[in-house]
Structures are given as C-alpha cells and as structure tokens.
Copies of this chain bind each other. A is one copy, B any other.
Amino acid sequence: MTPAEHETLEFIDAVASGVRESAERGEPPRIEFPVRSLANVSYDPAKGWLEIGDARKSRALTVRTVKSFAQTLRLMAVSRGMVEDDDFATKREAYYVSKNWGECRFDEQPESDAIMDDVEALASLHGLSREQLRFYPEAHGGSVVGPLVVVDRDTETGAAIEIDCRSLGSGAYTIPRSVEHLEFRADADFILAIETGGMFQRLNHHRFWRKARAVLVETAGVPTRATRRFVRRLSDDTKLPVYCFTDCDPYGFANIYRTLKVGSGNAAHINRFFCVPKARFLGVTPRDIVDYRLEDATHPLTDTDVKRARDALEHDPFFAAEPDWVAAIERLLAMGVRAEQQALAKWGLNFVIDTYLPRKLRDEGSFLP
C-alpha cells in the first residue's frame, strides 16, 4: 500500500472513530462538511485557483437525518474497501452498489452524488482527491501525442509499462480516468492544450509535435477532470509551460481555458488538485481576427455567447483580476463575432502549422494571462 493510500484510510478511520466515540459518550454523532456553494468560493491570484472558503455545515445524527447519515458512512466504507482491494467505482456504480443496502439504499443517483460531493469536499481539506477515495469520473481524458513517455504499470501484474507518445502512428494515447500513479519523461519545450479534435488531428498528422518539441493534448471542448489532472501533474513534474489553443469565443475563454487554468466555481473544493495555474492563452485572440484577416471566416456572436462574455466580465473573479482579459473580452463584444481555430484554413489547410503557430510561439509576450 502506498503512503497516499494509507492517508486515505487514516482519513476514513478518523471520521468513523469520531462518530463512534460520540455515540459511546452518549452524544449525537456529528460530521462537519465544507459548504459547497458559490458564496463560499474565493480567488487569490497568488494561489491561482478558485478556492473553497471556511464555511462549514454540520450533519448530526437525528431521526430526520438517519438515512443520509448512514449513507455517508456506508459510502466511506465502500471507499475503504476499494482502497484495500485496489478497486474503484464510478459515481453511477456507487449508486448501484447501494441497491444492496436495504433501507438505506439511494433511490436516485443525485442523492448519492450529493453525499459523495460532501465526502469529497471533506477529504479535500485533508489533501485527498475523489480519485484517492477511489471514486473515478465516468469520462476518461483527452488524447495525447508527442515527445513524452508515460510510465504506468500493469494493473494485474504490477509490471512497469512505458507508453511512448511518439509511437502511436495516426492514433493517440487516451488519458486514463485516474492519473495519480503515472510518471513522466518528456523531451519537450512546452505542452499545448488544443480545443478541437480536428486541429489536434492536423497537428498530429503533420508531426507538428516533432518540429515544435511539444506535447499535444486534445481537450475536446471543456477538459474532463482526468485531462485537467493529467496536464497539471505533467506540468508539475516536468516544469514545462502550458499553452492553451482554443476558438476565439466566450466558450473557449470562459469555459475551456478558465476551467483548465483556475478550475470551476461549482467544484471549488477540488480545484487545488485539478487546475493548471501556470497555463497561458496562446490564441485564437480577438486581435488575431484582425491580424490574420479572418473577418469573412467569422460567425456572429449568439445571445448565449454574449451572455457568457458578460458573465465573465461581471461575475468571474479570475477575469476580474486580469485587465488584459477584460480588454480582450470587451473587444470581442465590440466586434460582435467569434472565430474558430479552423477558420485559419481560409489561408490554406496548413497555414496554422506553417505560419500561425510559429509566429505566435516566437512572441510569448502576446499570450493572454
């Protein structure tokens, strides 16, 4: 068992012991959880992620809470068993496992999800992620190619396995759901997180990663937890910078990039594990639309785009702290259009490889923060 696994068991045992000791003293057992609402979230640029605050809610054992109290303990017991057996469960599976719990079974998955989120938030205060509790996300991560060797192990035999992300032909490496155990050997200058599969495929087909010495990661829209944790661990371990390459639209800025860099507001208790504070935004920027004369390859901003942009300006603590982003988003709103990564194909399918990316990479100072 690894030190991290011991920590997980100690955390579970400590909560369970507290409950038992209260009961033995004749007091109603009680567990305190962090409040998981936006009101209890703050952003400190020095830390670099949206963080959960100090507000706590208390779940005491009463007639009214007996079912959810029991469910909380049983879910933690499932977690304990999975650490011991080197197993795991998706949220969906955890819900189904409860069908054998008799009276305290979950009726619907939102019930088990809410309790799992509470347990996860509590564990996060002890530096433990949901993956360490052995509850894995349903979605795996994006695809990876480039000068990177991922060191994994066979889950059955324990034998070391090396995956060379240069040797996957036209295919790619799929990031697994949990990446805690991976090790990395990179021979690269930076990590490039790419929004669309089409662009990833083009850069891979033409071996952009070889010329540019870059690890390419396809986020396929908003990066999943597994993708975010993979980029975070990879960049921490290798000290490589992370550049983000999305469409020029509020979704690319405020959903994809913001989530990758500082996390999301409604899961603030996990951002410290998942965000990539050193990420920077390479493009496509509103200025690129002008500089690369893409005006006739743009689309008008939709109402949703405009709403998303205004929300970012008015309510998002990350953008509020970055004047360059405020200026960029205001410029986009004034232009009234958005441009996709693939709009660069107006100048030829490989303009992005031959001209756009090399020119961008020579001028890192132009990246948005």
Interface residues, chain A, with chain B CB atoms under 8 Å away: 82, 87-90, 92-93, 96-97, 99-100, 136, 138-140, 143, 150, 152-156, 161, 163, 167-178, 181-182, 196-198, 201-202, 204-207, 210, 296-297, 340, 342-350
Contact = CB atoms under 8 A, between A and B. Distances in A.
Contact of A340 (B92, B210, B297, B347): B92
Q: How many copies does the complex hold?
A: 2
Give the top 8 A-B pairs by smallest Cβ distance, nearest first.
A152-B169, A170-B176, A90-B198, A96-B345, A156-B207, A172-B174, A99-B346, A161-B169
A101 to B, nearest CB: 10
A155 B207 contact: yes
B196 A138 contact: yes
Contact of A163 (B169, B178, B202): B169
Nearest to A198: B90
Nearest to A201: B177
Contacts of A205: 87-88, 155
27 contacts: A87-B350, A92-B340, A96-B344, A100-B347, A136-B201, A138-B196, A138-B198, A139-B197, A140-B172, A152-B168, A152-B171, A153-B169, A154-B169, A155-B169, A155-B205, A155-B206, A155-B207, A168-B174, A170-B178, A171-B173, A171-B175, A172-B173, A172-B174, A172-B176, A173-B173, A173-B174, A177-B197
A153 B207 CA distance: 12
B176 A169 contact: yes
A96 B346 contact: yes
Given A143-B174, A155-B206, A97 B345 contact: yes
